[in-house]
Chain A
């Protein structure tokens, strides 16, 4: 868009008149909107920047058309008239949008609405120096001369699609009333205006009559950002049941996923028409590239809007959540001027240079040169350096080529220099994808965690194009989807270990442990010098220790139970036991903190008894008398060597799972990498912990009958003490004897 005041024709890109009536006029293209086609009229299509009607002002001062005034440069407003706000463009079902574009491109500005609405037939074009005339459709008029039109209020979605269907297909693979690229809201009869009504909000000082339509949360800094988030959100409708919206419980979804992910992330897993991968303006024209078929590049969609299944990229949006987007990769040229600003080059400036080198380049398709080698880039930059000489909008000629996160320019020797592009041109942001919502059964997670966390799932492993024409062969460069939102490859593989091996095989590990214990019991049997042969009279386990053990045991059971639910995402058990995931999470946290406290107490109580002493070697050499098929005497203190190993093992496991567990309480604040790492470590060692406890429980119960009663009253029989803790019993007996004397 040209400025109002210009000092040279070089400064004028698209003046207002061309903005309205420009664009190709060949029969194939004439119905396709240029800039003005998607403007309903009124505002800048009716009044200039001084608030005067174009047609009246130009009639009064015809010299303006020869001036450098951006509103009148090379204009014919006096003949074309102005484009008043065309109410029928939105409110008349069956409005002929192509006819409107044709009328505008043929400079029949003030006739456009009459022709496109079908009220009348317009003959003659201002572009062809004719004066158009109108023949009205008399069947639409009553006898009194009044017209009868079946206008729609609110406007039908089809009319919104005239413009939004084209632009949003490119930006985000959007389509409406499209059975293949479906949308659940559309399928239930909702229209654009149901979600995007006219805003009526005194706080914003906007009344309904002003026709400001509720707007969503566009991620890319786009138009009228002050109107962002005036639409009702997914949560607004689906928590209040607005228009009968179902209220999802999301019980199968981890709470942090509901916080970290936008609704669209799971509910728009796939788009079914090709959006834009990017655009290239090298030739001077805007050449759009539909999304690539990376599995088979030759079979990529031929045009935007063609049926093609693709998955979005994911980006952290303003509100901090991960959301699906489509980033249009821009391939374009700028000139670095003396003021340090990269000015985008106009289409005609690119075209002039490209025409000069087209024959040397010899691209496969002259419309798609796809510059990617240094030789090609050098040719174009050199041509631009030459053709921009004398251009009065620049004080310095230094063209840059921007592509794939890099910019290229020529150094003093005329060589191509490639650098990371830290200018606005290298900043890639995606257009939010909010429409074409899939039914819940097709949402990510409907088939379990593997929808995202499996080895081939798009969420992490999908390939996203970062450079449409990458070196050396011009094929697209890609990066894994997970990398884009901060998941390092090694973290992904760690996560894979969790999903592919740890989760599926944890149950098998437990079963193997239990099976091993069964083998032991059936092969070795319980220790015969059992607890019951004489009355328990020696205190082996005082009250403080029994309580510590009790807290540790109970909290561990709770941790193991809730952990099992999280580990396997067992929703049935979760609903049955806790109702909501949040409750289960809080219970796990509380039990974890109690377990840590009890474990610290246990180290204070038993640490001194768990020091290894020389006779522990004998206990270990004889395997504690638990293997070999016959009982042997083994020396042991208050804790035997096996118990000491178990004690230190569980202390270390407590330290690991405790530290990682506390970190996971603050998971939301952790970087993704640390969060994944912590989660995997926590899960892995928790499995080992549970396996150890199963073995411990076996030894404390059926392998040594009666031992469990120590947990109740703390006493053991002399026989049991002699058998299991001979060295401690000797000390006890000696002390007892001394006390008697």
Chain B
């Protein structure tokens, strides 16, 4: 290779790398959540790297609830599945006393 071609080749390589970086940035998907601490059901941080509470299961209420409104989210049907309407008398009016709610928790 002739010496005068080296800068040109270096510039080309640099441009290629730049393009690759640009594409990879463009293709990067935004994460739904930034890195976060797991927490126990008592709200204590779990850190497996230091061993802090690392034998405890994580608590979604404490972990996800640190940023998201856990109580509001769990009002949704998928979480309640009729529990928010359950009553021992729910089915009496429809002559089906065994029906306790209009969700999977109590309908059967």
Contact = CB atoms under 8 A, between A and B. Distances in A.
Interface of A: 1, 3-5, 13, 19, 35, 38-44, 46-47, 49, 81, 84-88, 91, 110-111, 113-114, 119-120, 122, 132-134, 136-138, 141-153, 198, 207, 209-213, 223-225, 227, 341, 343-344, 424
A81 B41 contact: yes
A146 B60 contact: no
A153 B35 contact: no
B80 A43 contact: yes
Interface in B43-95: 45-50, 52, 54-61, 64, 68-70, 72-84, 86, 88, 95
Contacts of B104: 35, 38-39, 223
A154 to B, nearest CB: 9
How large, as a class, is the contact surface on chain B? 35 or more
Given A1-B105, A114-B58, A145-B52, A43 B35 contact: no
Contact of B60 (A4, A86, A145, A224): A86
B41 to A, nearest CB: 7
Nearest to A16: B105
A151 B55 contact: no
A383 B32 CA distance: 58
Interface of B: 31-33, 35-38, 41, 45-50, 52, 54-61, 64, 68-70, 72-84, 86, 88, 95-98, 100, 102-108
B74 A147 contact: no
B100 A146 contact: no
Nearest to A122: B57
A35 B73 CA distance: 21
B57 to A, nearest CB: 4
* Residue picked from B49, B57, B77, B86, most chain A C-beta under 10 Å: B57
Contacts of B86: 44, 49
B36 to A, nearest CB: 6
25 contacts: A4-B88, A41-B79, A44-B83, A49-B83, A84-B60, A84-B61, A85-B74, A110-B59, A114-B58, A122-B57, A134-B54, A136-B48, A141-B49, A142-B35, A143-B49, A150-B31, A198-B76, A209-B69, A211-B73, A211-B75, A211-B76, A223-B77, A224-B82, A341-B96, A343-B98
A44 B77 contact: no
A134 B49 contact: no
B74 A43 contact: yes
Contacts of A47: 83
B73 A43 contact: no
B83 to A, nearest CB: 3
A282 B77 CA distance: 32
B74 A424 contact: no
B31 A210 contact: no
Q: Which 10 A-B pairs have the closest CB atoms?
A: A211-B76, A145-B47, A44-B83, A136-B48, A42-B74, A146-B35, A42-B79, A153-B32, A151-B32, A43-B80
B31 A133 contact: no
A211 B79 CA distance: 9
Contacts of A132: 57
A128 B17 CA distance: 57
Nearest to B84: A43
B60 A91 contact: no
A212 B78 CA distance: 8
Given A113-B57, A133-B55, A3 B88 contact: yes
Contact of A44 (B47, B60, B105): B105
Contacts of B47: 141, 145
Nearest to B64: A87
Contacts of B60: 41, 84-88, 113
Contacts of B75: 210-212
A210 B36 CA distance: 22
A50 to B, nearest CB: 11
* Residue picked from A5, A87, A343, A344, most chain B C-beta under 10 Å: A87
A224 B72 contact: no
* Residue picked from B56, B80, B98, most chain A C-beta under 10 Å: B98
Given A120-B58, A212-B76, A213-B78, 16 more contacts: A42-B70, A42-B74, A43-B79, A44-B82, A44-B105, A46-B61, A47-B83, A85-B74, A91-B32, A119-B38, A138-B49, A146-B35, A147-B36, A151-B31, A209-B69, A209-B72
Given A145-B37, A209-B72, A209-B73, A223 B81 contact: yes
B50 A145 contact: yes
Contact of B41 (A49, A110, A143, A152): A110
A341 B95 contact: yes
Contacts of A35: 104
